[in-house]
Amino acid sequence: MKKRTLGKNNLEVSAIGLGCMSMSFGYGPAGDKQEMINVIRSAVEQGVTFFDTAEVYGPFTNEELVGEALAPFREQVVIATKFGFDCDSGKQGGVTSQPERIKRVVEASLKRLKVQTIDLLYQHRVDPNVPIEDVAGTVKELVLQGKVKHFGLSEAGAQTIRQAHSVLPVAALQSEYSLWSREPEAEVLPTLEELGIGFVPFSPLGKGFLTGAINENTRFSNEDFRNNVPRFSEENRKANQALVDVIGKFAAQKKVTPAQVALAWLLAQKPWIVPIPGTTKLHRLQENCGAASVQLSAEDLRELEGAASKIAVQGARYPEHLQKLVGR
């Protein structure tokens, strides 16, 4: 698989990464541990070198899974993890980026991931009670101590990105971005381009919706957080099907899958964009990796853009209490 570079400090990763959250958390019951290890190791065999986790996924169990799965390949891969949610009680609480807690979380993450250094450490969400300069300064200390190599932010706004970057170069911003979630285009992408920061879109397949495998009649398990996402209400899924139909029609013309079109569209936006689709299934992993070979011409992109722009996506992408944490 081709490689891409995130940020100016030459963090080189595969053009498509693997988001590991859903293996432990978020979309229903955790997957079978050995099966999930097989998926992660299969990704390595297919050329994926970029793996994404966080302390809050589980909490804690996803980092342990990723650490065990990637232990034999440590020198070949880049592991990204995150701090920033209070999960000390074993459940996800509010945002917290107190410097002492960041240091404590990093020590625990190093052990769970079975590594000496965290390749890329993100602040999971901006904490309005801790100046971003203090957060960046704390991570800078950890970099100087050799515990962290690169610093990242997640779902931060343009001003916060600038402030953090002035203290410690930000290698990557991770935010939701896809054909049905395009908020970063207004301010964030131009800021990243100006500062030389890479972009890592999560949910590049719209939390599964853009694959065409979900419709208004789909029923999610009780543990699936999409049950609480406005964009996934039955009514909004019915309305948003129009976008999936556009992608599906385009994919059929290109003789590829809708997921591959959605990922190839992201890759075509900028050479420093690296999407991290998540999956628990080997056939979906193979499909997603195949998107790195799908070439969309300027005409293809215009056609897709023209059709997609006529469709107004219905529903917020988070429930209100989580939507407030975005773009700070």
Q: What are phi and psi of 57, to 5 degrees?
A: -75, 105
Judge whether 272 and 6 are in contact, CB under 8 Å: yes
Active-site residue, 122 included: no
Provide DSSP, 88-119: TTSS--SB---HHHHHHHHHHHHHHHT-SSEE
**Where is 68: in which H helix or E strand?**
helix 61-70
Which pLDDT value is given to residue 77? Answer: 98
Strand 78-83 and strand 118-123: the pairing is parallel
Q: What is the mean pLDDT of the chain?
A: 97
pTM: 0.97
Q: What is the pLDDT of residues 175-224, one digit of tens each?
A: 999 999 999 999 999 999 999 999 999 999 999 999 999 999 999 999 99
Cα separations (Å) of 10 from 16, 81, 169, 272? 16, 18, 12, 11
Query: How far is the C-alpha of 322 from the C-alpha of 92, rounded, in Å?
Result: 12
Which pLDDT value is given to residue 99? Answer: 98
Q: What is the pLDDT of residues 10-60, one digit of tens each?
A: 999 999 999 999 999 999 999 999 999 999 999 999 999 999 999 999 999
Query: Predicted confidence band at 320 (pLDDT cuts at 50, 70, 90)?
Result: very high
Share of the chain above pLDDT 70, in %: 100
Query: How far is the C-alpha of 149 from the C-alpha of 270, rounded, in Å?
Result: 24
Cβ-Cβ contacts under 8 Å for 177 (sequence gap 6 or more): 183, 184, 199, 201, 202, 204, 266, 273, 275
Judge whether 52 and 40 are in contact, CB under 8 Å: no
Query: How far is the C-alpha of 12 from the C-alpha of 220, rounded, in Å?
Result: 36
Query: Predicted confidence band at 91 (pLDDT cuts at 50, 70, 90)?
Result: confident
The number of angstroms, rounded, from the C-alpha of 237 to the middle of its chain's C-alpha atoms is: 22
Judge whether 85 and 121 are in contact, CB under 8 Å: no
**Where is 132: in which H helix or E strand?**
helix 132-144
Domains of the chain (ranges; CATH) run 3-323 (3.20.20.100)
Q: What are phi and psi of 207, to 5 degrees?
A: 55, 35
Q: What is the pLDDT of residues 107-126, one digit of tens each?
A: 999 999 999 999 999 999 99
Q: What is the pLDDT of residues 233-247, one digit of tens each?
A: 999 999 999 999 999
Catalytic-labelled residue, pool 27, 57, 122, 177: 57
Give me the residue label for tokens 């209490």.
321
